[in-house]
Amino acid sequence: MRIRAALVALLLTAAGCGSGTTAATDPAAPLKVGVSPTPHGEILKHVADTLASEKGLKIEVVEFTDYVQPNTALVDGSLDANYFQTVPYLDTFKQSSGAKLEWIGPVHLEPLGVYSKKHKKLTDLPEGAKVGVANDATNEARGLKLLQANGLIKVKAGTEATATIRDIEDNPKKLEFVELEAAQLPRSLEDTDVSVVNGNYAIDAGLKPASDALVLEKAEGNPNANGLVTRAELKDDKRIKDLLALLQSQQVKDYINQKFAGAVLPV
């Protein structure tokens, strides 16, 4: 979803109003960590249930189904950290809101994929085909980059990191683009020829990225790893560092590989 500066500013006005007891105010309190349900929530619950005790950590997993609330809840003190986003998405949020959030480290990559219920390969797309893409700045640019890498479009040089459909300068098949909230894209497959879907939402919808996607992002050199984020005043907190160490541990890498079979890649 596109971050609207006015909405974010309104939410940040309430920054001092968080009433929950968090690790910032009570060292004995559980770390409250906001996540998308899949795969972030599953990975974090695995850490909380099987690994956290060895570090003396208590973790409270708080699930969100959108990409805005986990950051606004972190800013207002309702959360101590979140684990759902990429560096480009975090940078966009910080630029729009002025929030002082800190990237702590990467955990996994969810390859963005192009899916269809009507076509078996991208070369089958007819002229004027309808294409669903995310309407938030980071994921829209990422989706257009994937379509460009597969020869469907070309965006203006220099706009690759921030491109929207208005930056498309070459569209030989005259594709029709439909911008939707990222969470709605799996459902859009009933109405589009293809849609570019985030890995977590694809998994939620029962899609198997490794076998169902017509094309997937490549992992090599990909800047879109999902990772742990906290507020500036907590970035050096030992518990935050311990949580990252667990999330990046070999045990978690093995869990990700076994659980998600290539749909999610540890980094």
d(CA 205, CA 203): 5
Predicted local confidence at residue 23, as pLDDT: 53
Amino acid letter for position 27:
P
The 3-class SS string of 95-155 reads HHHCCCEEEEEEEEECCCEEECCCCCCHHHCCCCCEEEEECCHHHHHHHHHHHHHCCCCEE
Q: 231 and 174, same structural domain? A: no
Residues 122 and 104 in one domain: no
Task: Tell me if 2 sits within 8 A of 133, measured CB to CB.
Answer: no
Quick one: pLDDT at residue 16? 39
**Same domain, yes or no, for 229 and 99?**
yes
Give pLDDT, residue 29. 75
76 and 127 housed in the same domain: no
- Are residues 149 and 238 part of one domain? no
Residue 176, strand partner residues: 130
pLDDT at 27: 64
Q: In this predicted structure, what is the pLDDT of residue 5? A: 36
User: CA-to-CA distance for 111 and 151, rounded, in angstroms?
Assistant: 18
Say what the pLDDT of residue 2 is.
37
Name the strand (E) or helix (H) holding 169. Answer: strand 168-170
- Residue 94 and residue 25 share a domain: yes
Based on the domain organization, do 28 and 57 belong to the same domain? yes
User: What digits encode the pLDDT tens for the residues 51-80?
Assistant: 999 999 999 999 999 999 999 999 999 999
Could you tell me how far CA 158 lies from the centroid of its own chain?
23
For the chain, the domain total comes to: 2
Domain co-membership, 86 together with 141 = no
Regarding whether 93 and 30 lie in a shared domain, the answer is yes
The pLDDT score that the predictor gives to residue 267 is: 87
CATH of the domain at 88: 3.40.190.10
Instruction: Tell me the mean pLDDT per 10 residues along the chain, length 267.
Output: 38 40 62 96 98 95 95 98 95 95 96 96 96 94 96 96 96 98 96 95 90 89 91 95 97 95 86
The pLDDT of residue 97 is: 95
One domain, residues 228 and 107: yes
Residues 129 and 70 in one domain: no
Counting other chains too, the contacts that 172-176 makes at CB distance below 8 Å and 24 or more residues apart are: 173/125, 173/126, 173/127, 173/128, 173/129, 174/127, 174/128, 175/125, 175/128, 175/129, 175/130, 175/131, 176/128, 176/129, 176/130, 176/131
The pTM (predicted TM-score) of the whole model is 0.73
Say what the pLDDT of residue 24 is.
54
For residue 199, what are the domain limits?
113-216
Residue carrying structure tokens 């541990």? 249
The predicted pLDDT at position 223 comes to 85
Whole-number pLDDT of residue 210: 87
pLDDT at 33: 98
Q: Which residues pair with 231 in a beta bridge?
A: 101
Quick one: 157 and 208 in the same domain? yes
